[in-house]
Every structure is written in C-alpha cells, then in structure tokens.
Amino acid sequence: MSRTAIWYWAARAAFGWLILLAAQVIWLVADTAGVPLSVHVTGLVATAVVAAAHVTVMPQWRYRVHRWEATPAAVFTQSGWFRQEWRIAPVSRIQTVDSERGPLEQLFRLANVTVTTASAAGPIKVGGLDRDTAQRLVAELTANAQATAGDAT
Amino acid sequence: MSGPGGGPLSGPAETGWRRLSPRMLLVHPVQEVVRAAPALLGLLVAGTSSGGKGHLWSAAGVGLTVLFGMLRWFTTTYRISPEQVQVRRGLLNRKVLTVPRDRVRTVDVTSHVLHRVLGLARVEVGTGTSDRRHDSRLKLDALSADEAARLRVELLHRSPAGQFPGTQAPAGQSPTAQSPTAQSPATSPVSPAAETELARMRPGWVRFGPFTMSGLVTVGVIGGFVSRLVSEGNIDLDRVGPVRETWRWFSAMSLALEIATVLLALMVFVGVASTLGYVLAYGNFRLTRHAEGTLHVTRGLLTRRATTIEERRLRGVEIDEPLLLRAVRGARLSAVTTGLRSKEGGQRGGSTLLPPAPRTEAVAVAGLVLSHTPGATGGPSPVTGPDTGPLTSPLTSPLTVPLIPHGPAALRRRFTRAFGVHAPILLALLLLWVLGEPPLWPWLTAAALLPVTALLAADRYRSLGHALTSGYLVTRWGSLVRRRVVLRCDGVIGWTVERSFFQRRAGLATLTATTAAGAQSYQVRDVDLAEALRLAAAGTPGLLDPFLEPAGSASQ
C-alpha cells in the first residue's frame, strides 16, 4: 500500500465522524425537549474522543495488516485485524481487472484495484494504491491474464 | 407455419422467427386460470354473498384470464441462428432475449401433465451467468416434444455431431468452431454406443421417500391454500360438519394426548406426502452418459424433466446426507458444475445426479460420473490426471478415502460454538423467569436440550474432515445435512484463508477453495493452519510458493 493511504483512511473516517458530530450539534441547537446541556456536552465529548482514537489508530493499524503482492503467476492479499484473511488467485484464472477511484481517493491520488475470477466468491480487492502503481498492476495483470487460453473457469 | 417438424432449426437469420407450438393455445389459458384460481374463487363467493351477480363477475374474470393466456402465444416468437438463440416476448413491454450459442451450457426439457397429454415440452436454456432473476432466463414454453428433443441435441451437441453420425443430431449446418481442448470424451471405454446408463430408479428406493421431509413443504402449501381459501372466500370453518366434529373430538382430550395426536397425524401426513412427492418427482429416474460428453438426467412420473449437464463443465460431485436420511443409510448425489447455480439448481433439481438412494449406490454412481470427466478446459493441467485407476481403489478414490480429522482444537471449537449459542438463550430464559414474565417450562425445555446440543457438536466434529487424493480436494462438514464435496483441483480458481481472533488463538484456519462451479466456494473448516497451507499448496502446485515466507514456519 501507499503510505498516502493512511491519510486517506484517516480522512474518510474523520468525514464519517464529522457527520455524526454535526448531527449532535444540530440536535443541541434545535433541542426543545429540554434535555439538560450536560448530557449534550458529555455525548459530544465522548463522540469526539472515540472519533479521535479511531482516526489516529485505525489507519496505522490497517496499514500494518494490509498487504498485497502480485507475481506473474498469482495475486495475493492479506487483510483484517480481527478476522484475518488471505486471498490468493492464480493470474491464469483472472476474468476482469477493474481499477476505481472515488472522489476522496482522487484527492489523495490513490486508486484501488479489484480482480475478479469466474467464482462469485473470490474477488480480490487491493485498496489504497497510489495511482501509478495501480495502473502498472492493472497493465501487468491484464497482460499476464491474456497470455492464458481458455475461459478460466 | 410452425407445426412440429417445420423445416431446419437453423433458419435464415432474418426471417427465422418462429412461434411456439399452436397447441399452447390450449395450455396457456388453463395455466393462467389455475394460477388465478384462488382469486377467481374468492370473486365468485364474494359476488354471490353480496349481490347475487358473483357468477357473472367470475365468468368475466375467467374470460379475461383466458384471453390473456392466449395473447402469450401470439406475442412470443423465437429464432435460432447459427450464432445465437433469440426469444421475443411481451405485448406492451417488448423484450428480446439473446443468447450466443457457444454460451449455452444446459438445456432443460420439462413437460407437465398437460404438456404431456398434448405432446409438448418446455425448453429452458441455461447459460453460465450467475443470474438470479428468473425473468432473464431463456425459456420456450412450449414446443412439441419432438422439436424440443431436436433442439436440445442441436444446442448441446454441435461439434461432436459430425463425429457421431449414429446419433439423431441434425448433422451439417452446425458450426464446428468449438474450442478444440474442450471435448475429449470419445475415449469412452465403457461402451461404443451413444448412450450408457449409469443409474436407474429402483422400486426399493421408495423407502427413502418418508425420510426426505419434502412433505413438509406440501403441508405448508396445503395449509397456505386452505387459509387463503378461507380468508378470500369467507368460509366459516365451523359450519363445515366434519371439521366441527373432529374439533369437538379433539378438544375433549387431555393436553399430552392432544400433542401426541397432532405429532402423530403430522408425522403420518408428512411421511405419506414425502413418499408421494418422491415417487412423483423421481419416478422413471434415469442417469445416462452420452458419447458426446454429456450426462442426461430424466425423471418425473407425471411432470417429466430432462436435464443435460456437459461433462466438461463438471468440476466434482457432492454427496448430501440429511440427518434423517443418514439414519437409514441414504444419500443424495448432485453435480458440482459451472453454469448451474447449485442453490437454485439444487432446489429445482437442476444438478441432481441421484435422488435419495442407498449411500453405497450414491458413491458408486459418483465414481462412474467422475471416472472419466475429460481434462481441463484451460488453465494449469491437473496435478495427477484423474483416470480410472486410482478412482476404483477405495483408499485412493476421493469418494471413499478416509478423511483426515481436524483435531482436538476443532472439537473444542465445535463445543464452544454450540454452547456459545445455547448458554445465552438459557440465561435469558432464566432471567425472564426470575423477572416473573413467562412460566418456567421454556427454560426447562431449553435445559433439557443441552445434551442434544452436545450431541450435535460432537457429530459436527465427527463430520469434519478433508483429504487430497488423485487430483481431487475432498471436504466434509455439517451434521443436520452432512455434505461431502469432491472437487477437482484444477477447478479451484483461488484460495482464501480466514482466521478469526478465536481461530488464531486455537491455531486454526478456515480454508476456502473458490471455484466457478456449484456454490462458488467450498470450505475446509477449522483446520490446522499448517495443514491448510499444505492443502492449498498441494492442490495448486507452485501457486503458493512465493507467498509462504510471511507465514514463516507454517509450511512443512
């Protein structure tokens, strides 16, 4: 993964938390039911603390546990901290290689690559790659996959 | 224009639109009326009770339905060109379905009772897509039986048709641009004839009928129909004499007797319905292998179904033993094949290779089916090419080889998981009882079920097992339905190793082999991590080698 991915994950997580915080603030301002101010403040502080912890720790951790590797013969990914998952697919069985960039990913000049095989159960996702690496990976996999004949089922 | 035997099937590309059999003008209306029967009946009853014009309304409804059914014949046309099969249908919402012919993987021919009386058959063309929308299926409902049979042969047996002039395939205009690696079943050592019978329904198998529990569905359907009839027709059950009598006799009994009676009645009913269902669904069952490289399954006493599975799409077989069936040493056999989603196919019987039958028979038929699946369609060649040699020996055949158990850690995990579900329920019920809401007996029942849970966990462990032999990956799991999947190693198109937090602590992993066939992925559950990696490495040689370093000491 690109190190920029850490910032991207942090930004994405922060974005989600900000929405929650904004909702709480709106509730505080628009509150007419008479919930005491202390309850509101406690809620806000608790959310902020959890958010800060999540935004700082999660990306680092994720960066540490996520790995990918592509050889001429196979694609391999490792992901997950509670439920660890290793996925491997031979290049000869690759059906499609997709590359995708969301708006936030564009901002960080990142991309993710999804490799699908003929099995509905086996797509391999590599997220948080920098753009050049992603392009190179796609080109490489496509070239290698084309080299094999058959319908790869 | 479109009667049976109306010219060659591959007509000219532009003008080849053909209609279904005109006899469907009789069938469609009946089908529609039957489908709308509860509503029509309700209309009749409601109309009669309110204004006395019920029969008029009802007649109008029937008329409309009949008209609607007949419209379907006029709006549906199909054509078969050398490249593709097309179906046009719909009046307001026109729809054209196109299937390239080299994507045709299965052709099912079904004829219901009405179809059979009129000599018709419905043709359903299956492609490799994992479609869940039934709407997008290419269905021809219906052609004359001759034409359906001819269509099936033509769609499936194109290229070998020239090599086997003995078959009734219309030789000639079929394109022979098939992938050359695909078909190699001509080396059939069994018989030079076009068709070899692998299995046939025996009358003795009916004894497995009551244990299939398919009758439960029937009970549900009948119950649903009665309740719908009652609610839509405003029928007061109390006014029906026999029902009232039975109810009076029934309510006079004690509670225990009541429960026993209901259970007994249900058991008898389900047993009879299951047996009946078994006979109707699987009567005349035949499994044959055609020299062109296909397996044909024909079955059904009233509704006849014929399914074709291309052997080159076959990636393995699955032997299922539901608990009841296992108790009487029975098993089902189904195919693991690409182009048929096993969940759907299994329900509709699409991939069935053998109905509930003696286990030994299922194993024997599975051996026959696997004995000469042709080579790989692409990708790396199999580890050890499956040939008849190792398959016949009980110690190397993937169907009978003793499986490697998953060890004490897996056993512990079965128990913790089983009680991890059971204990909270017990606790919650106890808490509720302490709080004073429900009576004690739910808790007592739950507590009494503890040994059952333990037995279940133990049996689930006993079922767990895996093996890798003669180029097949074998995995078995489950207790309520024990499944043994035999999957060709070259059908595996990827591996996933999953380790949850608790599995990591126990040193276990779940190895998933992804495949394009059947359920798309098959798991070897709670196996030792090193063993999982060894299995994956041996199943697809060379694939894992560059990646085994991060796992450190795991390999060998």
- Residues in chain B with CB shorter than 8 Å from the CB of A118 are 338, 493, 516
The pLDDT confidence band at residue B538, using thresholds 50, 70 and 90, is confident
Last residue of a domain, one of A39, A64, A89: A64
- On the CB side of B48, CA atoms within 13 Å amount to 13
How open is the CA angle B478-B481-B484, to the nearest 5 degrees?
Answer: 65
Closest CA to B109 of B290, B284, B282, B300: B300
Q: Which of B128, B521, B536 lies nearest to residue A121, judging by beta carbons?
A: B521
CB B453 within 8 A of CB B444: no
Whether residues A47 and A8 share a domain: the answer is yes
Whether residues A78 and A111 share a domain: the answer is yes
Residue to mutate among A75, A86, A92, with most B CBs inside 10 A, is: A86
Residue to mutate among B495, B529, B555, with most A CBs inside 10 A, is: B495
**% chain B with pLDDT above 70:** 76
Which of B27-31, B95-99, B220-224, B269-273 is most confident?
Answer: B269-273
A146 near B CB under 8 A: no
Residue A135 falls within a domain, yes or no? yes
Interface of A with B in 103-132 (CB under 8 A): 117-122, 124
Looking at residue A72, which CATH number applies to its domain? 2.30.29.30
Average pLDDT over every residue of B28-35: 79
pLDDT above 60 for B193 = no
Q: Which of A67, A82, A87 lies nearest to residue B494, judging by beta carbons?
A: A87
Beta bridge partners of B333: B319, B354
Q: d(Cα B114, Cα A66) in Å, to the nearest integer?
A: 60
pLDDT above 50 for B359 = yes
Nearest CA in chain B to A119: B516
3-class secondary structure, B270? helix
Q: d(Cα B431, Cα B372) in Å, to the nearest integer?
A: 60
Residue to mutate among B130, B336, B543, with most A CBs inside 10 A, is: B543
ipTM over 0.85: no
pLDDT less than 50: residues of chain A? none
Instruction: Note down the domain range covering A115.
Output: 67-146
Whether residues A74 and A115 share a domain: the answer is yes
Q: What are phi and psi of B23, to 5 degrees?
A: -65, -15
CB B324 within 8 A of CB B258: no
CB B82 within 8 A of CB B10: yes
Return the number of CB contacts < 8 Å for A and B: 111
Whether residues A56 and A87 share a domain: the answer is no
B516 near A CB under 8 A: yes
CB-based contact B493 A153, cutoff 8 Å: yes
B510 near A CB under 8 A: no
| Residue count (chain A) | 153
- Residues in chain B with CB shorter than 8 Å from the CB of A76 are 547
Number of domains in chain A: 2
CB-based contact A150 B504, cutoff 8 Å: no
B379 near A CB under 8 A: yes
How far, in Å, are A18, A58, B6 from residue A11 at the CA level? 10, 11, 68
Whether residues A29 and A92 share a domain: the answer is no
**Would you state the pLDDT for residue B15?**
66
Last residue of a domain, one of A40, A64, A88: A64
CB B532 within 8 A of CB B497: yes
Q: d(Cα B554, Cα B529) in Å, to the nearest integer?
A: 7
* R_g over Cα of chain B: 28
Whether residues A31 and A47 share a domain: the answer is yes
DSSP B70-102: HHHHHH-EEEE-SSEEEEEE-SSS-EEEEEEGG
Domain segments of chain B as ranges: 206-282, 407-554
The pLDDT confidence band at residue B178, using thresholds 50, 70 and 90, is very low
Q: Which two tokens stand for residue B525?
A: 């559950």
The pLDDT confidence band at residue B159, using thresholds 50, 70 and 90, is very low
Residue A40 falls within a domain, yes or no? yes
Beta bridge partners of B508: B528
Q: Which of B313, B516, B542 lies nearest to residue A73, judging by beta carbons?
A: B542
Residue B230 CB contacts under 8 Å (≥ 6 apart), including other chains: B237
Q: Which of B520, B536, B547 lies nearest to residue A120, judging by beta carbons?
A: B520
CB B187 within 8 A of CB B193: no
Residue A46 falls within a domain, yes or no? yes
Which amino acid is residue B79, in one-letter code? Answer: R
pLDDT above 60 for B210 = yes
| Residue count (chain B) | 556
Average pLDDT over every residue of B342-347: 44
Residue A153 falls within a domain, yes or no? no
3-class secondary structure, A89? strand
Range of weakest confidence among A6-15, B363-372, B448-457: B363-372
DSSP B374-442: ---SSSSPPSS---HHHHHSTTTSTTTSPPBP-HHHHHHHHHHHHHHHHHHHHHHHHHHHHHT-S-SHH
CB-based contact A152 B379, cutoff 8 Å: yes
pLDDT above 70 for B364 = yes
pLDDT above 50 for B383 = no
Average pLDDT, chain B: 74
pLDDT above 70 for B123 = yes
Residue A151 falls within a domain, yes or no? no
Q: Which two tokens stand for residue A133?
A: 């690496």
End-to-end CA distance of chain B: 70
**Would you state the pLDDT for residue B388?**
44
Q: d(Cα A11, Cα B332) in Å, to the nearest integer?
A: 53
B168 near A CB under 8 A: no
Nearest CA in chain A to B521: A121
CB B399 within 8 A of CB B486: yes
**Would you state the pLDDT for residue B200?**
84
Closest CA to A116 of A72, A153, A81, A67: A153
Q: What are phi and psi of B439, to 5 degrees?
A: -70, 180
Q: How would you classify the pairing of strands B195-200 and B104-111?
A: unpaired
Residue B421 CB contacts under 8 Å (≥ 6 apart), including other chains: none
* R_g over Cα of chain A: 21
Nearest CA in chain A to B515: A119
> b or e along A93-113 (b: 16 or more beta carbons within 10 Å of the residue's beta carbon)?
bbbebebeeeeebeebebbbb
Average pLDDT over every residue of B92-97: 78
Residue A152 falls within a domain, yes or no? no
